[in-house]
Amino acid sequence: METQKVKTCFTITFTPEQYLHAKAYVEDMKKHPQRVFWQGKQSKSDDELVIEQIAHRILSGFYNDDPFNAGKHIMRMDSMATA
Protein backbone atom coordinates (compact mmCIF):
# COMPACT_ATOMS: atom_id res chain seq x y z
CA MET A 1 0.00 0.00 0.00
CA GLU A 2 1.43 3.34 -1.04
CA THR A 3 1.04 6.23 1.40
CA GLN A 4 1.10 9.94 0.74
CA LYS A 5 1.69 12.98 2.91
CA VAL A 6 -0.62 15.99 2.88
CA LYS A 7 0.05 19.05 5.00
CA THR A 8 -3.21 20.49 6.34
CA CYS A 9 -3.85 23.55 8.50
CA PHE A 10 -7.11 23.75 10.47
CA THR A 11 -8.71 26.80 12.01
CA ILE A 12 -10.78 25.56 14.94
CA THR A 13 -12.91 27.01 17.71
CA PHE A 14 -13.21 25.64 21.23
CA THR A 15 -15.03 26.45 24.42
CA PRO A 16 -13.47 27.44 27.75
CA GLU A 17 -14.63 24.07 29.10
CA GLN A 18 -12.80 22.22 26.32
CA TYR A 19 -9.66 24.25 27.07
CA LEU A 20 -9.83 23.43 30.78
CA HIS A 21 -10.42 19.75 30.05
CA ALA A 22 -7.40 19.59 27.74
CA LYS A 23 -5.28 21.50 30.24
CA ALA A 24 -6.19 19.01 32.98
CA TYR A 25 -5.33 16.14 30.61
CA VAL A 26 -1.89 17.60 29.90
CA GLU A 27 -1.30 18.16 33.62
CA ASP A 28 -2.17 14.51 34.24
CA MET A 29 0.19 13.38 31.48
CA LYS A 30 3.05 15.26 33.19
CA LYS A 31 2.72 12.73 36.02
CA HIS A 32 3.45 9.91 33.55
CA PRO A 33 6.55 10.84 31.53
CA GLN A 34 6.95 7.32 30.08
CA ARG A 35 3.60 7.28 28.27
CA VAL A 36 3.33 7.21 24.48
CA PHE A 37 1.71 10.67 24.71
CA TRP A 38 5.17 12.21 25.14
CA GLN A 39 6.83 10.75 22.05
CA GLY A 40 8.00 13.72 20.00
CA LYS A 41 6.47 16.26 22.40
CA GLN A 42 9.19 16.73 25.02
CA SER A 43 10.21 20.20 23.83
CA LYS A 44 6.69 21.64 23.43
CA SER A 45 5.23 24.27 25.74
CA ASP A 46 2.21 23.55 27.93
CA ASP A 47 0.06 25.81 25.75
CA GLU A 48 1.13 23.96 22.58
CA LEU A 49 0.26 20.64 24.22
CA VAL A 50 -3.16 21.90 25.32
CA ILE A 51 -4.03 23.25 21.86
CA GLU A 52 -2.80 20.02 20.23
CA GLN A 53 -5.01 18.01 22.59
CA ILE A 54 -8.04 20.14 21.72
CA ALA A 55 -7.35 19.79 17.99
CA HIS A 56 -6.86 16.04 18.35
CA ARG A 57 -10.18 15.65 20.14
CA ILE A 58 -12.04 17.83 17.64
CA LEU A 59 -10.57 16.09 14.59
CA SER A 60 -11.06 12.64 16.12
CA GLY A 61 -14.72 13.31 16.78
CA PHE A 62 -14.67 13.30 20.58
CA TYR A 63 -16.59 16.59 20.65
CA ASN A 64 -18.88 15.68 17.75
CA ASP A 65 -21.68 13.79 19.47
CA ASP A 66 -24.30 15.60 17.37
CA PRO A 67 -23.78 14.71 13.69
CA PHE A 68 -25.58 17.85 12.47
CA ASN A 69 -23.11 20.05 14.36
CA ALA A 70 -20.01 17.92 13.83
CA GLY A 71 -18.27 20.55 11.72
CA LYS A 72 -19.03 23.53 13.93
CA HIS A 73 -15.55 23.52 15.51
CA ILE A 74 -13.66 23.42 12.22
CA MET A 75 -13.82 26.91 10.78
CA ARG A 76 -11.36 26.47 7.91
CA MET A 77 -9.05 23.90 6.37
CA ASP A 78 -6.18 24.61 3.98
CA SER A 79 -4.26 21.73 2.39
CA MET A 80 -1.34 21.29 0.07
CA ALA A 81 -0.91 18.21 -2.11
CA THR A 82 2.62 17.45 -0.95
CA ALA A 83 4.29 17.87 2.40
**What is the per-residue DSSP string for the chain?**
------EEEEEE---HHHHHHHHHHHHHHHT-TTSGGGTTTTT--HHHHHHHHHHHHHHHTTT--SGGGGGGGEEEEEEES--
Residue 2 included in any domain: no
Structural domains of the chain, count: 1
pLDDT at position 12: 84
**Predicted structure pTM score:** 0.71
pLDDT at position 62: 67
Residue 1 included in any domain: no
Q: Which domain holds residue 72?
A: 7-80
Residue 40 included in any domain: yes
25-46, pLDDT tens digit by residue? 999 999 998 888 888 888 999 9
